[in-house]
Amino acid sequence: MECTNLIEAALNNGDISKSLFQGSSDKAIIIELQKVLFELGFQKELKWDQYQADGIYGNATSATLMAFAKKNNIDTEGISVSGKLAEIILQRHGFLPSMYILWAIHSSDLRKKKYISKGTRISIIAIQTLLNELGYGEQLNFSKFGADGLYGKYTRNALIAFAKDHNIESDGDLLSRSLINLLLKSINVFYGKDWSKLAQNNLPSQDSPLVIYEGSRFLGKPCQADVQFVPMLEKINDYAKQADVYIVITSSFRTTTNVKGAIVKPATYSNHLAGHGIDMNLKYGNNKHANSKVLIKYPDVPASVKQFLDFIINDPDLRWGGKFNRKDPVHIDDGLNRDMKKWRKRYQVMQKAVQLGL
């Protein structure tokens, strides 16, 4: 699919170890693996200052995979990437935007951000995401509500349980320094020691085109985007209001797919790389979810889901992936990559804004 990166595509195609193994000549996917591991915080293990992303699956890459696997309780000798290892790598990488939000809270003056209930929706989503990963999904009632960004009794109960298990008193709302320190320490368990060095670059600032869009109808992962894509996101949010659905973001701006400079294969011109695309599921009715298996059946989908998709399809400034030649029913973008001059410009601006050493 247009918006699936190389590791995801190889994983979906079957035995990924046939592409990622020591001595492999598939430089493109190895470069992507090395970039992902860099963003996961394993700069030292990769010997990044010496090799960077060179596309060679050698001893440094093997050692890095072993270091990551050890932190995430997976057995490997590092000489190849199994399906299970690839899944965890992608999962941890997908969590990074939420972890950056928690890093920002940890680095802030807590006298101004004292209560979780008074935080932004994305800050609550970040805490819910982490608590679920740490094993508090039952208290969160995560199977029903997911990371919905709403502070209620389930989030409170999960946070109280988490704090109690670590001998910290908590009412489930007051964001004490000891509690946020514990949350950050819990993140560090899964990542390399350098992961937070990229946090500041991946958060909005006055000098960066990167924004985190917080629409009233947006749930799921933080929606990272190019500031120039915000008007489209506002239209999408308004369509969701009119159709009475919620947009559960599964992916937005990405830093990793095989794009190197201006000369790349057409299939890798993803609008995600320029911050002009989102992947999503839809939430409708009484906490019902429409994922790719539902969306692909358009127009035979629930009425509110169809109404939302019709809005996107009929908007001349937006594209729905379900209408692509290679259908991608979870994808929405503004067609930026139809003008490669504009795409290259925004790609370079966005990638330069967030990456260190790449």
pLDDT digits (tens, 9 = 90+) for 16-34: 998 899 999 999 899 989 9
User: What are the tens digits of pLDDT across the range 43-63?
Assistant: 999 999 898 889 999 999 999
Residue 221 resides in a domain: yes
Token pair belonging to 276: 């002009």
How many whole angstroms separate alpha carbon 281 and alpha carbon 295? 8
| Closest of 61, 63, 65 to residue 53, by C-alpha | 61
Beta strands in 227-351, from DSSP E residues, in sequence order = 246-251, 277-284, 288-290, 319-320, 331-333
Flag whether pLDDT at 355 surpasses 80.
no
Task: Report the alpha-carbon angle 273-277-278, nearest 5.
Answer: 115
Coil, strand or helix: which one is 283? strand
Overall domain count for the chain: 3
Residue 1 resides in a domain: no
- Give yes or no: residues 211 and 325 share one domain: yes
User: Which residues are CB-contacts of 305 (< 8 A; sequence separation ≥ 6)?
Assistant: 243, 245, 282, 284, 290, 294, 295, 298
Flag whether pLDDT at 237 surpasses 50.
yes
- Give yes or no: residues 80 and 105 share one domain: no
Chain mean position to CA 140? 21
Average pLDDT over residues 281-294: 93
- Give yes or no: residues 218 and 342 share one domain: yes
Helices (H), 244-302: 292-295
Give 71 or 1, the one with higher predicted confidence: 71
Residue 324 resides in a domain: yes
Q: Which amino acid is at 6?
A: L
How far, in Å, are 90, 105, 203, 236, 309 from residue 215 at the CA level? 26, 20, 17, 9, 18
User: What are the tens digits of pLDDT across the range 166-209?
Assistant: 999 999 999 889 999 999 999 999 999 999 988 888 888 888 89
- Give yes or no: residues 84 and 102 share one domain: no
Residue 76 resides in a domain: yes
Last residue of a domain, one of 89, 107, 139: 89
Q: How confident is the model at residue 113, as a pLDDT?
A: 66
Find the domain containing 322 and state its range: 204-354
DSSP-derived secondary structure letter, 72: T
- Give yes or no: residues 345 and 271 share one domain: yes
Flag whether pLDDT at 261 surpasses 70.
no
Last residue of a domain, one of 148, 167, 197: 197
Q: Which amino acid is at 215?
A: G
Residue in the block written with tokens 């609008």: 271
Residue 105 resides in a domain: yes
- Give yes or no: residues 220 and 318 share one domain: yes
Residue 142 resides in a domain: yes
- Give yes or no: residues 271 and 190 share one domain: no
Q: What CATH number corresponds to the domain at position 349?
A: 3.30.1380
- Give yes or no: residues 83 and 102 share one domain: no
* DSSP labels, 235-280: HHHHHHHHHT-EEEEEE-S-S-SS--TT---GGG--GGGGT-EEEE
Flag whether pLDDT at 258 surpasses 60.
no
Q: How confident is the model at residue 356, as a pLDDT?
A: 56
DSSP-derived secondary structure letter, 286: T
- Give yes or no: residues 58 and 118 share one domain: no
- Give yes or no: residues 104 and 172 share one domain: yes
Q: How confident is the model at residue 267 (pLDDT cuts 50, 70, 90)?
A: very low
- Give yes or no: residues 40 and 157 share one domain: no
Q: How confident is the model at residue 275, as a pLDDT?
A: 95
- Give yes or no: residues 219 and 124 share one domain: no
Residue 180 resides in a domain: yes
Token pair belonging to 336: 């930026």
User: What are the tens digits of pLDDT across the range 142-156?
Assistant: 998 888 888 999 999
How many whole angstroms separate alpha carbon 72 and alpha carbon 134? 12
- Our CA dihedral for 250, 253, 254, 257, rounded to 10 degrees, sits at 100
How high does pLDDT run on average in the chain? Answer: 89
Residue 237 resides in a domain: yes
pTM: 0.82
